[in-house]
Structure 1
Amino acid sequence: MCLADTMVHPIAAEDSAIALIRFEDQAVGQFEVSWAFRGGMDLRDEVAGTEGTIWLNHFLRTGYEMFTAAGGKGYVAEKAESETGWLFPVGDEVHELGYTNMFSDMFDALDADRQPVETFLDGYVVNAIMDACYRSAKTRRWEPVKLERWYTGASKAKPGAVRKSARGRYSLIKEERMPDGTLKQMLQDWKTGHVVQKVRKA
C-alpha cells in the first residue's frame, strides 16, 4: 500500500511517498521517502522484532554534534540547509552512504569470480517492489509484487507545487552546495517545462 504525491517541488513526479509492504510471513515493512524533508538528509533503518529492536542512524546522528554562531561558506554535509546553529557534520560521507563497501565488494567479486553480496536479482526484486508501489499509489489499494516480468506502466504524480522564485523564466527546484564550494541549481523552464542544471563556481 503506497501513497505518493508532489508536495513541494514544481516537477512532474512525486517528491514524497509512504509505503507499507506485507511479506508472506505476515511481517510488515514501512518506508518513508521525501525530497521535501527539511533539516538535512535523514537516512535511517529501524527493525522491530518479537525479541528486540535495532535502530541505525546513518547520517543525521553519526556522533558529531556542534554549535556555531559564526557560520561560513564551508561544506557541512550533503543536503545540509544551514551553516549556523546546531549542525551534525558527517565524518566520512563516502563510507556512511555505503559507497566504499559497495565498490570494494563488487571489485573483489570480479577478482574472485564470485557473485557480489547484492546481485542483479536483488536489484530486480527492488524494482518490482517499486513498481507495486507505483501501482498502489495509483489505485489506492494493496497491489501484489509481480516478479515474473518488468512493469513499465506506472504513472507519475501531477505537479501541484508552488514554484520558488528564480531569475527570469526559470523556477528553482533545488540547489545544493558541493564539497568544492560550487553551487548547483536545478531549474525548470516555466514555458517549456524542461529541467536544466546550472553550476556556479565558488
Structure 2
Amino acid sequence: MARIRIGIIGLGNAVEPHAKSLLDLKDRVEVVAAASRSEERMKAFAGRFPFPVTTDIEGVLGASDVDAVWILTPPNSHLELVREAARGRKHVLLEKPLDISLDRAEAIVAGMRGAGLTLGVTLQHRFRPASLRLKALLDEGALGRIGAASCTVPWWRPQAYYDQPGRCTLARDGGGVLITQAIHTLDLFRSLVGDMTVTAATAATTPVHRMETEDFAAALVRLDNGAPGVIQATTAAFPGGEERIEIMGTLGTAWLAGGTLRAAFIDGREEIVVRHEGATGGGANVMDFPHDWHRSLIGDFLDAIKEGRDPVVSGAEALKSQQLIAAILDKAGWRTEG
C-alpha cells in the first residue's frame, strides 16, 4: 500500500513526539518536508531527525506531492494555516487546541468538513492503554450506571515557563491551564462520561505565578444522565502530580491515575492495568512523557484517511472539549478574549 506523504509545519517543542512516531511509522508515511520559519529551529530539528527541512511553509502547504500536513504551530496561527492547507487539498492533523477562540475553532471544523478533508487533533491521552481499557469497561456497562465522576489535574509549571514570550496569553494561546494543559485530561474525561453542563465554576491566577490567564480552575458539572461531577485543574501544584479521573457506578468504581487504571467491582472482582509508570508531562519538564500515545493517535489518523472516516479525535470531538473549557471560563466570569 502506498505511503501517505506528509509535511510538518512548526518545529517547536510539540514536534518531538510526532517526529519519533513518524520514524516508527516509516512504512506507512513519507515525510516530504518539515518546515519552520526559524532557521535555528530548522537546523536543530535537522540535527536530530532524518527528514528534509525547509523554511518555505507556503510551499509545503501547496505542494502537489503532499497528501496531509501536521500543523504544530501556536494556536493563534491555526485557522489561517488550515485554510491554506484546505485550498491545497491537504488532510490536517492539528496540534491542540483547535484555535484561540470558539469562533475560530468552529471555522476550522466547518471549513475542513465543507472541503471533504480529514481533520484530526492531537489529544493523545485517549490512546493510553489504561484509557482504552476504561473506555471499554464503560461501553460494556461493567461499571453500571454512572453515579458521579471527577477529574483532577494537579500539574506544575515554574515561572520561567510563563516568562517565555506569548506563553499562555490570550492573544497567542487563547488561555491558561484549561486550554493549554488540562485540555488533554478534560477531553479524555468527556469522551468517557459524555457531554455535561457546567453548573458552577471558578478560575484564578494564583500568587504562585505572574501570568495573564488562569493557572487554577474548578467546576461543578452535571452529566447528561443527571449525575454530578467535579473538575479541577492547576499548574500551581509543585512538583506536579498525575492527572486523575474517578468514575463511580452502580456496579463498581474506576480510578485512572496517569497511565494506571484500577477498577473495583461490587461483586468482588478487581482489575488493574499498569502500562506506563513514568512521567506524564505534569512537572517542569513539559515533554517528559513517551511518544507511544502520539504514535497510536497518528496511526488512527492515517487509517481514517485511508478508510474515508473521521479519526477518533476528530475536529468535531476536539471542538466539544473546547466548548466545555469555554463554558467553565464563562461560568467563572473569566476573560476569554484579549
TM norm structure 2: 0.32
Q: Does 1:36 align with 2:218?
A: no
1:3 alignment counterpart: 202
Question: For structure 2, which runs of at least 5 residues remain unmatched after alignment?
Answer: 1-199, 262-273
C-alpha change, 1:29 and 1:104, in structure 2 (3 Å) is farther
Report the number of matched residues. 123
**Which residue type is aligned with residue 118 of structure 1?**
V
Structure 2 distance, partners of 1:136, 1:55, is 27
C-alpha change, 1:60 and 1:5, in structure 2 (3 Å) is farther
Q: Check the 8 A contact 2:300/2:312 in 1, yes or no.
A: yes
C-alpha change, 1:35 and 1:127, in structure 2 (3 Å) is same
Q: Does 1:57 align with 2:257?
A: yes
Which structure 2 residues correspond to residues 130-169 of structure 1 after superposition, within 5 A?
130-138=325-333, 154=336
Q: Does 1:94 align with 2:94?
A: no
Q: Does 1:107 align with 2:302?
A: yes
Please state how far the C-alpha of 1:94 moved relative to its aligned partner: 2.1
Structure 1 distance, partners of 2:259, 2:237, is 14
The DSSP-based 3-state class of the residue aligned with 1:138 is coil
C-alpha change, 1:155 and 1:80, in structure 2 (3 Å) is closer
2:317 alignment counterpart: 122
**Which residue type is aligned with residue 291 of structure 2?**
V
Question: For structure 1, which runs of at least 5 residues remain unmatched after alignment?
Answer: 66-75, 83-89, 140-152, 157-202
Q: Check the 8 A contact 2:215/2:236 in 1, yes or no.
A: yes
Please state how far the C-alpha of 1:40 moved relative to its aligned partner: 2.8
**Which residue type is aligned with residue 233 of structure 2?**
V
Q: Does 1:15 align with 2:215?
A: yes
Structure 1 distance, partners of 2:224, 2:280, is 39
Q: Check the 8 A contact 2:258/2:280 in 1, yes or no.
A: no
2:163 alignment counterpart: none
Q: Check the 8 A contact 1:43/1:60 in 2, yes or no.
A: no
Structure 1 distance, partners of 2:281, 2:325, is 25
Q: Does 1:46 align with 2:246?
A: yes
- Across the aligned residues of Structure 1 and Structure 2, the Cα RMSD in angstroms comes to 3.1
Q: Does 1:27 align with 2:209?
A: no
C-alpha change, 1:137 and 1:80, in structure 2 (3 Å) is closer
Please state how far the C-alpha of 1:30 moved relative to its aligned partner: 1.9
Structure 2 distance, partners of 1:24, 1:78, is 31
The DSSP-based 3-state class of the residue aligned with 1:30 is strand
Greater helix content: 2
**Which residue type is aligned with residue 35 of structure 1?**
T
Deviations along 1:105-150, one digit per CA (max 9) or x if unpaired, are: 11111122211122222122112111111111118xxxxxxxxxxx
Structure 1 distance, partners of 2:252, 2:322, is 29
Structure 2 distance, partners of 1:94, 1:44, is 20
Q: Check the 8 A contact 1:109/1:116 in 2, yes or no.
A: yes
C-alpha change, 1:25 and 1:41, in structure 2 (3 Å) is same
